[in-house]
Amino acid sequence: VPAIVPASVLGRAAKGKSRSGVPAPSDRVTVGLIGTGRQGSGNNLQGADLKALGTRILGLLDVPEAQVVAACDVDSWRLNRAKTIVEARYAQNTAAGRYRGCATHADFREVLARRDIDAVMISTPDFWHVPMGILAAKAGKPFSCEKPLSMSVHQGRRLVEAVKKYGVVNRTDSEFRSLRPQNQAVELVRNGRIGQLRRVDVTFPSDPAPVPPQADMPVPKELAYDLWLGPSAWVPYTEMRVHTPFDLTKRPHWMRVDTYAQGMIANWGAHYFDVAQWANNAEYGGPVEVQGRGEFPKSLWNTMVNFEVTYRYANGVELTCRQTPTSTPNIRYVGSEGWVNVEGYPGVITASNPALLDSKPGAGELDLSKTLWDKTDFIEAVRTNRPTLEPIEVGHRTISISQIGLIACQVSPGEKLTWDPARELFVGNNAANALLAAPLARTEWAGV
C-alpha cells in the first residue's frame, strides 16, 4: 500500500495555505476523525443514500481528495469499528484488496499533535465542540465541527475568535445547505419569488419521554469515562447519561441532558435556524426580539421540550419555532405574494403556486443548484484555502438563536426580551445576560 503523504508536504503549508497555487495530482488532504459515534461513523465517515431525492450525502470516504488516516474516540468498540470501516473501504482500491493505514487514538490531543494530519472532523458530543475546535485552531489544523457548535453564546464567540486568530479553514458541519429542497427554498425566497419575506414558521420533531433519575452503574470496560466527561463536572456513570453500548443505531442519551447538549431547540435549530437566516439574508446577524415558553422536565433527561419561541428581526421578519409531542420537521416561508414549504427530511418542497418550483434564477440572482456536499466543500476549501459555505461565524450565529430562545424560556417565560445581535447581549436584562456564558467546570480546561 502506498504511504500517505500529508498535503502540507505536497505543496501547502500545514494551515492549508497554498505555496504553488496548484496542488499536485496525487495530493490528498489527510484527515483525522474525532468522534466515531452514530454521526461520526455514519454520515460523516460513510455518507448516506437519500432515496427520496435520488442522491447521496457524501461522507469523507466518498471524497477522493480526502484520506482518513486516523480515528479517535473514548469508546474503544466504536473506535475499532470505525478503523475497520475505513480500512475496508480503502482496501477496495488496492490491487491486493488489503489496507492497513488508519491509526487509532483515545485522546484527541494526540491527533492534533500529528504533523501528518492536515485537517480534522469533530463529531463529538456538543459540550466538547468548543474546546476541541479552539485547540484544533491553535494546532493550525483546519477543522469541520458538528453542530450545534457550542453550549453558550460566549463560548461560540470564543471559537469564532480562535479561527480568526489562527487563520485556519473552518466549517460548521451540516448537510442542510446541500439538500436541494432546502437550498431551493432559500433560492426562491432570496430571489423574490414569494414577494417580500414576512414570516418563517418551523416545527421540530417530538422528543421521547424523559427518563427518571437513574442508579449509578459500573463504567463499561470499553469507555474511558473520565475523558468522555472532559470539561464537564464529574458525576457517576449511568448508561442513560452517555450512550447505548455496542449500538450506533440509537440517538445518544447525552443529547437530552442539559450539561452536554441543549435539546431539540439546538439540535434541529442548528439546521432550521441556519436556512431560515440564510433565506432572510441575516446569517451574520440575528433577531432583535425574542419571547417563548417551554417545559423543563425534572429528570435526568432535562432539556427543554414542548416549546414555542418567536423571534423578530429588524426588517420585520418573524421567525417562530414550535415543538409538541406530535410535531414533525417542517419549515414554511411566507411572503407578501405566496409561500414555499419544505416538509420532513430530506424534504419535500411545495409552494402556493406550483409554477414557482420550475422557476430558474435569472442573471445576477442566487443559484444554489450546484451546492457542494458539506464534506466536499470542506476538503476543497482546505485544498484551495478558500472560505467554506458555512463558516464557524455562521454556525455560531445560528446556534445563538437557539440559545437566546432557551434563555428567554428560562428567565422570562412569555415576556418579550430585546436582543442586540451586534453586541450579543440582552438589553436591560442582567438575569438573561448571566446565562450567555457556560463556564467549563474542570480547571484543566479553563484556559481553552
pLDDT tens digits for range 404-418? 999 999 999 999 999
How many whole angstroms separate alpha carbon 256 and alpha carbon 207?
A: 9
pLDDT at 446 over 80: no
pLDDT at 321 over 70: yes
- Mean pLDDT across the chain, nearest whole number? 93
Opening angle at CA 410, ends 152 and 342, nearest 5: 70
Report the DSSP pairing between strands 305-312 and 289-295: antiparallel
CA dihedral 141→135→116→75, nearest 10 degrees, is -120
Residues 6+ apart with CB under 8 A from 373: 57, 58, 175, 178
In contact, 265 and 307? CB cutoff 8 Å: yes
Residue found under cell 482518513: 68
What's the pLDDT at 425? 98
**Burial of 306 per CB tally in 10 Å (0-12, 13-18, 19+):** middle
Rounded to two decimals, the pTM is: 0.93
What the block records as the C-alpha cell of 89 is: 473501504
Beta-carbon count within 10 A of 348 CB: 13
How many whole angstroms separate alpha carbon 365 and alpha carbon 192?
A: 10
Under DSSP, is residue 206 helix (H, G, I), strand (E, B) or coil? coil
Per-residue pLDDT tens over the stretch 183-210:
999 999 999 999 999 999 999 999 888 8
Average pLDDT over residues 10-19: 38
Angle between helices 153-166 and 392-411 (to 10 degrees): 170
pLDDT at 441 over 70: no
How many whole angstroms separate alpha carbon 375 and alpha carbon 368?
A: 17
Residue 91 phi/psi, 5-degree rounding, is -65, -30
In contact, 119 and 31? CB cutoff 8 Å: yes
Per-residue pLDDT tens over the stretch 219-249:
999 999 999 999 999 999 999 999 999 999 9
How many whole angstroms separate alpha carbon 180 and alpha carbon 200?
A: 18
Question: Which residues are bridge partners to 305 per DSSP?
Answer: 295
Helices (H) and strands (E) in the chain, counts: 12, 17
How many whole angstroms separate alpha carbon 381 and alpha carbon 423?
A: 29
Question: Which residues are bridge partners to 68 per DSSP?
Answer: 31
Average pLDDT over residues 166-180: 97
The pLDDT-based confidence of 438 (bands split at 50, 70, 90) is confident
What's the pLDDT at 26? 57
